[in-house]
Amino acid sequence: MRKNLDIISAYSIMLGLIILVGFLQSWSMALSILCLCLISAVMTIGANIQWGYAGLINFGIMGYTALGGLAAVLVSVPPVREAWQVGGFNMILCAFLIVFMVFSIRFIIKKYNQSKKRSYGIAAIIIVGLILLRLISAPAIESIESVSPATTGFLGGMGLPILFSWIVGAFFAGALAYIIGKIALGLRADYLAIATLLISEIVIAVIKHEDWLARGVKNVIGLKRPVPYEVDLQTKEWFINLVEKFNQGTLNLITDASEKQELLKQLIIESSTVFVKLCFAGLFTVVVIILLIITQKALYSPWGRMMRAIRDNEEAANAMGKNVVKQHLLIFVLGSAIVGIAGAMMVTYDGLFTPGSYRPMRYTFLIWVMVIVGGSGNNFGAILGGFAVWFLWVEAAPIALFLINFFTSGLEETNAFRVHLVDSIPYFRFLMMGIGLLLIMRYRPKGILPEKIKHI
């Protein structure tokens, strides 16, 4: 207990802050902060596995998040039969062609020794394959996209419950990470950072512009939820009773029957949103706790010790017979898969998939700020970082408004300088993030909750 005092106190402060938002602003607001904090926590767990355990820099978090989101669309949306009829065959043919290309290239690489002839052969396969792909897919894409473009215009998904997508998203992200890892993991740290950043941009470009896949920038809206809808809840008998019971005190104060009815209606509408968000928060908490238990177990297992050994001294670990390349690839895939889960969770929570909103600032760099501020190498630290940074990110605007009003209280309301500052409040969050990150890196480089290694 004594040992974990810092963890417990840090988390209680965080929880207290969220509850404070509930009292000061609204419970719905507090719960949506909590939900996104939990999603951020999943992302930071993923990034922390890569950076904290193994020292790999992955600036491609945005790409995995988007793939997770894509999984949510592909799993939950019902299939568009018409589109499958007009273009499905060609698209499946394309998929087979890609698989064939990959296997033939692998075959050539295995079978023949490195030579100019081999390189030309591989290049020829790629070029011919790309031309064939283009020829087969172009008419199919056109016909798929012309199937009622205002509402569908894409192949649709599998029509399964969206919760499955959390697992599928992990597989998608893991598969991408496997490919990237094979290509880029041999690079030095900062090269790896830049390469992953750029590759994630390519992934976003593909998702944005391949409309047949997930409607691209036209967005997919109205994804099915795993939790009840507000409108349904408001008519349910048990929910109305629950709200009535919960607010007995306030309701009893009012004697007028019609006024009472009015207030009850209001309360039911308010509590239905809170209830839905509570359901989401519950689901997300389950995921975070499961991941936390697994990663914590892994950290203190022989495998975790090996990862730390590799991180701290690659050559020595190699000399001890540990396969550094293989372990790096493994941890790269695992961490990315966890980020993929978070991506699917985020789309599930929003109920819509908007490829245009994936920007490196929000989905890559902010997550890194979370990991570093929280404490890399320590799962509790990383999760706390996710909570604290997201909280600050959301609450930066009210804090900035308060500070501006405080410091410019000598100036008039209509003073041009003051008005300009108040207008640019949304950008103060960048300033706070930057200064926060710089201060933490300077004075507490290991984060708020630093890594603790149990020596046995």
Partner 1 sequence: MDFLNAIVLLLNYLFVPALSYGSQLALGAIFVSLIYGILRFAYFTAGDLMSFGTMFTILFTWYFQSLGINLGFLPTALLAMPFGIIVTILYVLVKDKLVFSYYRTQKSPPVMLAMVSIGTMFVTQAIVRIIIGPFDRRFFDGEKFILKANEFKEMTGLNEGLTIKSTQVITLLVTIIVVSILFWFLNKTKTGKSMRAYSDNEDLALLSGIDPKKVVMITWVIAAILATIGGALYGLDKSFKPFTYFNNMLPIFAAAIVGGIGNPFGAFLGGYVIAFSEILLTYAYKKFFVYLLPESLEPDGLLQLLSTDYKFAVSFSILVIVLLFRPSGIFKGKVL
State the residues that interact with partner 1 by CB under 8 A.
57, 183-184, 186-187, 189-191, 193-195, 197-199, 201-202, 205-206, 208-209, 361, 365, 368-369, 372, 421, 423-424, 427-431, 433-435, 437-438, 441-442, 445
Concatenate the DSSP letters of all residues of 171-193 into one string: HHHHHHHHHHHHHHTTS-HHHHH
Query: For 259-295, b where at least 16 C-beta lie within 10 A, e where not — what string?
Result: ebeebbeebbeebbbbbbbbbbbebbeebbeebbeeb
Residues 207/212/216/218 CA torsion (nearest 10 deg): -170
Provide the minimum distance between the beta carbon of 441 and partner 1 in the complex, in angstroms, as a whole number: 6
- What is the torsion angle, in degrees rounded to the nearest 10, for the CA atoms of residue 374, residue 384, residue 366 and residue 287? 130
Question: Which one-letter DSSP state was computed for residue 163?
Answer: T
- Supply 429's token pair: 């969050």
CA–CA distance, 234 with 94 (Å, rounded to integer): 47
Structure tokens at 245: 């019971």
Task: Calculate the alpha carbon distances from 333 to 47, 58, 174, 456 in Å.
Answer: 11, 11, 5, 29
Distances, alpha carbon 45 to alpha carbons 50, 92, 246, 443, in Å: 9, 36, 36, 23
Q: What is the DSSP string of 39-83?
A: HHHHHHHHHHIIIIIT------HHHHHHHHHHHHHHHHSPP-HHH
CA distance 440 to 442: 5
Q: Which is nearer to partner 1, 175 or 441 (CB)?
A: 441
Task: Please report how close the Cβ of residue 158 comes to partner 1 at its closest, in angstroms.
Answer: 27
Residues β-bridged to residue 353: 220
User: Judged by CB, which is closer to partner 1: 221, or 435?
Assistant: 435
* C-alpha distances in Å from residue 226, one per residue of 149, 169, 349: 27, 16, 9
Choose between 212 and 349: whose C-beta lies nearer to partner 1: 212
HSE-CB at 224 with a 13 A cutoff on CA atoms is: 15
Quickly count: other Cβ atoms within 10 Å of residue 202's Cβ.
11
- How many helices (H) and strands (E) are present in the chain, helices listed first? 21, 0
Q: Give the C-alpha separation, 379 to 386, whole Å.
A: 11
* CB-nearer residue toward partner 1: 112 or 246: 112
The CA angle 41-180-295, to the nearest 5 degrees, is 30
DSSP 3-state of 425? helix
Residues in the chain: 456
